[in-house]
Amino acid sequence: MSLHITEVRVIVTCPGRNYVFVKVMTSEPGLYGVGDATLNGRELAVASALREHVAPLLVGRDPDRIEDTWQLLFRGTYWRGGPVLQTALAGVDLALWDIKGKRAGMPLHSLLGGKTRECALAYTHAAGRDFKEVEDQVRRAMERGFRAVRTQVAVPGSIGTYGTGGAGEAASAAWPSPDGEAMPFVEAGWDSSRYLRTVPRLFEHLRNTLGDEVELLHDVHERLSPIEACRLASDLEPYRLFFLEDPLRPEHSDSFRVLRRSSTTPIAMGELFTSKYECLPLITDQLIDYIRCDLGHIGGLTEARKIAAIADPFQVRTAWHGPGDIGPPTHAANVHLDCAIPNFGIQEMTFFSAAVNEVCPGAPTYRDGALWPSDAPGLGVDIDEEAAVRFPYKRGYLPIVRKADGSLHDW
């Protein structure tokens, strides 16, 4: 029998935070592919979709037929799409690309058309309780070579504001807390007006103290109404952000028209999208400047390269999602794609802990403010199954946000 898939292993592990890794085994001894199917806070839903529904469909199939397998898993369910199924699909997709690269003896950037650039401009995160603390963090990042930094500051009265460290941040990573407590962290006392007053002052401070050279970014995390987002984007204009991220919820993509008319602050959107279809109007109507889907939640490289190709003629560049809650295989895929496409913009990045690198070695290398792709065949990432077993899954939730009156707000 010709080359075929023999087994799909689903590896759930918690080397500090939860990951779902996929290992697609083939009939050729020693030939397998690795993928990442981590969906922060809902990991076991994806693991179960893979084990119970996806894996049985794959055994016996030719691993070379990536597009056909993608179509089978996307169209063949009838109840298609959504974060759980698209994350499961991404895990398989990356593993199949990894196998193809290994068979060809080529790194993925080579298979995807070859390098258009040597490395991918990367941004890291800086955050603090006050402006000075954020400034110091940006300086530290610049000392490490970063030329672009995402900055978040605590909003007075909002306990554990998104992205600003402390208890809220640990919980925002859906890390299980040390005592095993698994209930969501509550960010209490959110007040959008206060946020809208605080953030422009942060950027005024940063430009005054750091100058104009460093690229600054900010993540709204989908917390604003259309008119609030207009206010923020126009108030931030003097500080020339690289981009303002996720100002609105994905359900409100029509509201980007309003936002676009009110300011020249570049807009990035997309980490909550699960397919190219949601990207379409934002791209074709040029309502955003950066599309930042998560390769791990849109069905992998197969979908991402199509999104990049759609975006290119509309002058929309890429900024694929790259937080710590997606694993090294997705980060590696990001950077292979970044280095192959013409319309790359910037890459969000994470420094993985020693434990994550032990379980899943091969994350892209950081140097001089950029990420460098591996030249090993395939993704360049592996999974140590024995190490993974030593870090068993621990339930963890993403935080929730409540306003001062106790009612729920978007996180």
Q: With CB cut-offs between 5 and 8 Å by kind, which of ligand GCO, Mg ion, none does residue 36 bind?
A: none
Q: With CB cut-offs between 5 and 8 Å by kind, which of ligand GCO, Mg ion, none does residue 40 bind?
A: ligand GCO
Closest CA to 152 of 142, 141, 143, 161: 161
Catalytic status, residue 162: yes
Six-digit token pair at 275? 């397919």
Nearer to ligand GCO, 32 or 185 (CB): 185
Q: Please tell me the chain's helix, strand, coil percentages from 3-state DSSP, rounded to the nearest 5.
A: 40, 20, 40
Write down the least CB distance from residue 271 to ligand GCO, Å. 6
Residue 390 phi/psi, 5° resolution? -75, -10
Nearer to ligand GCO, 218 or 276 (CB): 218
Closest CA to 396 of 40, 7, 3: 40
Kindly state the greatest CA–CA separation across the chain.
68
DSSP string, 191-243: -HHHHHHHHHHHHHHHHHHH-SSSEEEEE-TT---HHHHHHHHHHTGGG--SE
Can you tell me the distance from the alpha carbon of 127 to that of 125, in angstroms, rounded to the nearest whole number?
Answer: 7
Write down the least CB distance from residue 248 to ligand GCO, Å. 14
Write down the least CB distance from residue 223 to ligand GCO, Å. 11
Is the CB of residue 301 less than 8 Å from the CB of residue 307?
A: no
Q: What distance lies between CA 262 and its chain's CA centroid?
A: 28
Q: With CB cut-offs between 5 and 8 Å by kind, which of ligand GCO, Mg ion, none does residue 235 bind?
A: none
Write down the least CB distance from residue 55 to ligand GCO, Å. 25
Using CA of residue 370, residue 387, residue 55, residue 397, what is the dihedral sign?
Answer: negative
Q: With CB cut-offs between 5 and 8 Å by kind, which of ligand GCO, Mg ion, none does residue 348 bind?
A: ligand GCO
Nearer to ligand GCO, 70 or 320 (CB): 320
Neighbours of 82 (CB within 10 A): 12
Q: With CB cut-offs between 5 and 8 Å by kind, which of ligand GCO, Mg ion, none does residue 135 bind?
A: none
Is the CB of residue 34 less than 8 Å from the CB of residue 94?
A: yes
DSSP string, 251-293: GGGGGHHHHHHH--S-EEE-TT--SHHHHHHHHHTT--SEE--
Nearer to ligand GCO, 250 or 323 (CB): 323
Q: What distance lies between CA 93 and its chain's CA centroid?
A: 16
Write down the least CB distance from residue 223 to Mg ion, Å. 11
Write down the least CB distance from residue 39 to ligand GCO, Å. 8
Nearer to Mg ion, 110 or 137 (CB): 137
Write down the least CB distance from residue 349 to ligand GCO, Å. 10
The rounded radius of gyration (Å) of the Cα atoms in the chain is 21
Residues that bind ligand GCO (CB under 6 A): 40, 219, 221, 271, 323, 325, 348, 398
Nearer to Mg ion, 46 or 272 (CB): 272
Nearer to Mg ion, 92 or 229 (CB): 229
Contacts (Cβ under 8 Å, ≥6 apart) of 164 = 127, 128, 129, 152, 153, 154
Write down the least CB distance from residue 149 to ligand GCO, Å. 13
Q: With CB cut-offs between 5 and 8 Å by kind, which of ligand GCO, Mg ion, none does residue 325 bind?
A: ligand GCO
Nearer to ligand GCO, 230 or 244 (CB): 244
**Which one is catalytic: 109, 125, 218, 221?**
221
Is the CB of residue 12 less than 8 Å from the CB of residue 20?
A: yes
Residues that bind Mg ion (CB under 5 A): 219
**Which one is catalytic: 123, 162, 195, 290?**
162
The SS3 assignment for 81 reads: coil
- Point out the residue whose Cβ comes nearest to Mg ion: 219
Catalytic positions: 162, 221
